Amino acid sequence: MLNIKPKITLVGAGPGDPDLLTLKAVKALAEANVVLYDALANEEILDYAPKTAIRIFVGKRIGNHAFTQDQINQLIVDNALTYGNVVRLKGGDPFIFGRGSEEVEFAESFGIETIVVPGISSIVAVPASQGISITKRGVSESFWAITGTTSDRKLSSDIALAAQSSATVVILMGMHKLAQIIDLFQKEDKGNLPVAIIQNGTTAEEKVGVGTVDSILEVVKQKELGSPAIIVIGEVVRESNKLKGFYEEFLSKEEIR
């Protein structure tokens, strides 16, 4: 009988483009006996795991959960105890709105060795892929990274605070509450503030919509934008050379109106 040493490696899969996976992540996958992967992890990344590795999809979307978080925690532990080396593959970075810390804590409560391989977060990578520098000298001195939907399915109260600042605001998981988000910025008299929404960023299915706080809901409707998407609100959107054509086209339409 083989002497199985349980180990769990929490791996950040990056924002979507498989080329943005880190070398350390590739090495971890190459040694996996089991891979549990999320909906936001590009399935091409699974090719880095051995053909003999067991692959288990544990993705979650709004209204469509393959497993609850408690079930995922138990699956990670059960597979580690049974097969040894488990890679838990999570989209983006596992410690940024990824519940990675909960999974590590649960595994460690069983005395299982855990390793964390950080991933490139969509918070910075997706705006950057569209030429948006979320901090830019003379334009933005800081940025807020906020979840649009809290664990109890409500709008984060931090968004109201962010709307009062001059910082760039980057919101994840906010598309289903976009109207509420926009209302908070309008209450701060920021209707002309530029907004970019990037759906499926860094992938072949990427879609982009650009406008202002006052117009972005119509842009979303016209371009049929949805989840998963990053919402970027701030003057830095106007500074992107890559989006300049989108933004100038939008402004010309506004002038015609």
Q: What is the dihedral of CA 202, 203, 205, 208, to 10 degrees?
A: 0
First to last CA, the chain: 76
Does the active-site annotation cover 1? no
Does the active-site annotation cover 244? no
DSSP string of 79-92, one letter each residue: HHHHHSEEEEEESB
Does the active-site annotation cover 19? no
Q: Which of 46, 38, 35 is nearest to 8 (CA)?
A: 35
Q: Which residues sit opposite 35 in a β-bridge?
A: 55, 87
Q: Which residue has the tokens 């460690």?
A: 108
74 membership: H or E segment, kind and range: helix 69-83
CA angle 108, 110, 115 (to 5 degrees): 30
Cis check: omega of the bond before 228, within 30 degrees of 0: yes
Active-site option among 24, 60, 207, 223: 60
Active-site option among 7, 17, 38, 90: 38
Active-site option among 7, 90, 93, 173: 173
Record the tokens describing residue 220, joined without a space: 């979303």
The residues that are catalytic are 38, 60, 173
